[in-house]
Structure 1
Amino acid sequence: MSSTPSDAARLLGSRIRDERQRVAINQMELAELAGLHFTNLGKIERGQANPSLHTILRIAGALNMNPATLLDGMTADMLPDRPHKVTVADLIRAREQGTVDPDRA
């Protein structure tokens, strides 16, 4: 994980915190329900941790919500250390235009 918090991590954490507060439970209660340590949940809510897929699913399950709701609208552009800005659509378009050598792509 990058040491710089990403926009995606901050947005995910904010969504989790908002839902937790909406259902009126504290971090310790949600952490217990999700099988996490409350300090880890706190880091996630502050956008300081990059939770695994399993952790996101545990949190969403504990909040009785669709995990897609937590990730809705997020894109790779929200990551600070994205190595490539080219997408598969860009690559296909370049191949069709003959500007990319298919053996090097």
Structure 2
Amino acid sequence: MLIRDLRAKAGIARARLADRADMDVSHLARNEAGDGDPTLFVLIQLATALDVAPETFVKGLTSADLPENLKPYSEADFRRELRRRGGA
């Protein structure tokens, strides 16, 4: 579920949510717009401020939900990168 949708459902203004999540309003706005790349810590902050479980933000997502310029990093990718770097 989108941050903006959860905020609207809770009836919380953006500035109030940013304050409750201890983050800058512009940072929250970027994440609401889908332009941010929130860390797990940020998602936990937002979940706590919205009184929802952190998994609310990722439940049901799969690799198909990744942006076109990203792809899942598989075990084979990891081993290939390790060889490229001269590791095992």
TM-score normalised by structure 2 residue count: 0.75
Equivalent position amino acid for 1:18 in 2? D
Give the C-alpha shift of residue 77 in structure 1: 2.2
The one of 65, 72, 82 equivalent to 2:71 is 82
Which ranges in structure 1 are unaligned for 5 or more consecutive residues?
1-11, 92-103
CA–CA distance in structure 1, aligned partners of residues 39 and 6 of structure 2? 19
Q: What is the letter of the counterpart of residue 71 of structure 2?
A: R
CA shift for structure 1 position 75? 1.2
State the match for 2:25 in structure 1.
38
Over the matched positions of the two proteins, sequence identity in percent amounts to: 31
Q: Report the 3-state secondary structure (helix = DSSP H, G, I; strand = E; otherwise coil) of the residue aligned with 1:31.
A: helix
Matching of residues 1-105 of structure 1 within 5 Å: 15-79=2-66, 80=68, 81-82=70-71
Q: Distance in 1 between matches of 2:62 and 2:23?
A: 26
Question: Is 2:63–2:72's contact at 8 Å kept on the other side of the alignment?
Answer: no
How far apart, in 1, do the equivalents of 2:13 and 2:61 lie?
A: 26
Report 1 or 2 for greater relative contact order, CA contacts < 8 Å, sequence distance ≥ 6.
1
Structure 2 runs not aligned, ≥5 long? 77-82, 84-88
**TM-score, structure 1 length as denominator?**
0.64
Contact 2:14 2:25 in 1 (8 A): yes
Amino acid across the alignment from 1:76: S
**After TM superposition, which residue ranges in structure 1, 4 or more long, deviate above 2 angstroms?**
none
Larger radius of gyration: 1
Cα distance, 1:70 vs structure 2: 1.6
